Chains A and B, each alone.
Chain A
Amino acid sequence: MSAAVRALMYLVAAAAFGAAAFAALAASADGPREAFVTNQLADSVSVVDLATMKQVAEITVPGRPAGVAMSPMRDFAYVTTPEGKALFAIDTVARKVAWQLTVGEGPLGIAVNPRSGVVYVANWYGDEIVAVDPVRRAIVGRVKVGRAPSGIAVTEDGTTILTADREADALSVIDAATMIRTGEIKVGTHPFGLAIEPGGKRAFAANVVSNDVSVIDLATRKVTTTVKVGSRPYGIAFARGRAFVTNQASRSLSVFDLANLKVVATIRVGDYPEGIEASGDGAVVYVACWSDNVLQRVDVESLSVSGTADVGDGPRGFGAFLR
């Protein structure tokens, strides 16, 4: 492809996406610039500038915000409010709530389909996943899953949704196109956080009560290995061939190698670490520490905390919060 053709394609793309969205895309290519952290006890979302590790805005979101996910263009942060029974869409550039929608009982886990942009919300009390079309701002699908669904993950190709059904000790597998539940995979005791590794071959579920991570082969839909971690594991992120797991009650991260699934390090972080996400280049992971009211940056090479930002009360950041 010639340079001229490529330039033309970029122009067309820019026109199609709009200038703001294109700017957001360009920004995320350089690594994340901001975190949108849900502060459950403060009824707010903190916007943290990642270069300075300072809170630069706090957006009021009533109803005990907990889960968070980003639109594919990172122009919207979607936030669940378990007590408000609602999904909020925050315009990340304007830093304002753009719209909200009642979605059901105890919405907590949330993920966005990377291909279609459809938002999936897990209704903890309703034992169901609802699909929300953010353009129409309407519920466009529903599917029953196991009891108390919490974490949600979507495969990179957008075809398959997984949920961690906490009280069922299992994952549900859902076909995204039809919103039909096609299977159940038994894991450890009370899975909560859930993530699919880059490449999409395996899923990892953090089991809050059995203090381990189930590694699931997605082709066979079977647990292949169980990795012991710290106390009350919550969230999982991947960076540079390793998994980083937040252990709430041990106030630590367990780090294990994705090739041999052996724990290589335990990193001390702020108290009650919960939501965790890696930067696009895998150089750092960011961790929301619920008890200490901070967002911490952990350097992946040195395996140590390299920055701390004060946020609101009770940060959870359960999901994807970087843009």
Chain B
Amino acid sequence: MNRIVAAIVLIASLPALAMAHGPSRKKEVTTIEIDAPAEKVWEVVGNYRDMSWHPAIDKTEVDPGEYKKEVTKRKLTFKNGAVFTDTLTRHEPAERTIAFLTNDEDLKTLPVEGYSSTISVADTGGKSKVEWKGAFYRGYMNNDPPPELSDAAATKAVIAFQKQGLEALKAKLEAGQ
């Protein structure tokens, strides 16, 4: 009986919880050296229309009418079928920096909330150094999270996601694709 009550309480509170996040945001920085000119790397990661350089992502859809505006949105379809929308928060070609913020969550795909990414490409004398700064909350929005939605789980998932993306980016560019 208690379990049923607990389940009902949990279900009842889900829609509201999905909008909230706790007060403690985490950060994780991933970097990689790429043997390709910074401009070439920027052409790929700076293109908000296409995030297919990340192996987890299957499809990027941008509303073409929105693209010229300073802030725009896109829909990312993951290879596992998950769909995320995000908002472009910075696009600074002079600094080769792009930043975007996920608007929704799929805790099975990434056990995080309010995930924002800032990707910058630095010129290291003909080669490049790419930095991906992630800022995120864990997937559980209250105190005392279950292990699969803990800070540790969120951090692990973000590191893996960013590393996977940058390694694929490196492989793609160094292969001259």
Contact = CB atoms under 8 A, between A and B. Distances in A.
A66 interface: yes
B89 A40 contact: no
B20 A271 contact: no
B23 A64 contact: yes
A193 interface: no
Contacts of A317: none
Interface of A: 40-41, 64, 66, 82-83, 85, 105-106, 108, 124-125, 147-148, 150, 166-167, 211, 231-232, 249-251, 271-272, 290-291, 314
A41 B135 CA distance: 12
Contacts of A106: 22-23, 143
B36 interface: no
Contacts of A40: 24-25
A272 B23 contact: no
Contacts, number: 61
B143 A147 contact: no
A85 B56 CA distance: 38
Given A82-B24, A231-B89, A249 B101 contact: yes
18 contacts: A82-B23, A83-B24, A148-B20, A150-B23, A166-B20, A167-B19, A231-B71, A231-B87, A231-B101, A232-B89, A249-B90, A249-B99, A249-B101, A251-B90, A272-B135, A291-B133, A291-B135, A314-B25
For the side of the interface on B, what is the size category? 20 to 34
A250 B97 CA distance: 11
Interface of A is mostly: loop
B30 interface: no
A36 B132 CA distance: 29
A167 B27 contact: no
B96 to A, nearest CB: 15
A150 to B, nearest CB: 8
B101 A83 contact: no
B142 interface: yes
Nearest to B29: A291
B69 to A, nearest CB: 12
A41 B27 contact: yes
Interface centre among B19, B25, B142 (most CB of A within 10 A): B25
B25 A290 contact: yes
Contacts of A105: 142-143
Contacts of B24: 40, 64, 66, 82-83
B13 to A, nearest CB: 11
Contacts of B142: 105, 125
A232 B101 contact: yes
A41 B26 contact: yes
Given A64-B23, A291-B135, A314-B27, A167 B16 contact: yes
Nearest to A271: B118
B162 interface: no
